[in-house]
Amino acid sequence: MTPKKIKSFGIIFKYNHAPAHAAAEHLKKCLSAEGIDVFMEEMCPYGFEKSNDMAQNEYDSIYKNIDAAMVLGGDGTLLGAARIFGKYGVPIMGINLGGLGFLTSIPLDKIYDAAKLLIEGRLEIETRLMLEVSIVRASKKTNSEKEILTAFNDVVINKGSLARIIDLEVLVNEEHLTTFRSDGLIIATPTGSTAYNLSAGGPILYPTMNSIVMTPICPFTITNRPIILPDDSIIKVAQLLESKEEFFLTMDGQIGLSMRWDDSIVIRKSDKKMYLYKSPYQSYFSLLRTRLMWSGNNVLGAKTAVSSKDN
pTM for this model (two decimals)? 0.88
- The candidate with the shortest Cα–Cα distance to 189, out of 303, 83, 40, is 83
Task: State how far the Cα of 71 lies from the Cα of 115, in Å rounded to an integer.
Answer: 11
Query: 18-33 vs 111-119: helix axis angle to the nearest 10?
Result: 40
Beta strands in 65-224 (DSSP E): 68-73, 92-96, 106-107, 125-136, 147-151, 154-158, 166-172, 175-182, 184-188, 211-217
Fold for the domain defined by 130-271: Tumour Suppressor Smad4 (2.60.200)
Tell me which of 37, 53, 67, 75 is the catalytic residue: 75
Domain boundaries in the chain?
8-124+278-291, 130-271
Report whether pLDDT(296) > 80.
Answer: no
- Which top CATH class is 8-124+278-291? alpha beta
Q: How many CA atoms lie within 13 A of 169 on its CB side?
A: 13
Going by C-beta distance under 8 Å and a sequence separation of 6 or more, which residues neighbour residue 226?
197, 201, 202, 203, 213, 214, 215, 216
What is the tens place of the pLDDT at every residue in 191-237?
999 999 999 999 999 999 999 999 999 999 889 999 999 999 999 99
Give the three-class secondary structure for 78: helix
Read off the pLDDT band of 43 (50, 70, 90).
Answer: confident
Report whether pLDDT(58) > 60.
Answer: no
Report whether pLDDT(59) > 70.
Answer: no
Report whether pLDDT(54) > 50.
Answer: no
Residue 113 appears among annotated catalytic residues: no
Beta strands in 103-172 (DSSP E): 106-107, 125-136, 147-151, 154-158, 166-172
Distance of CA 274 to the CA centre of its chain: 9
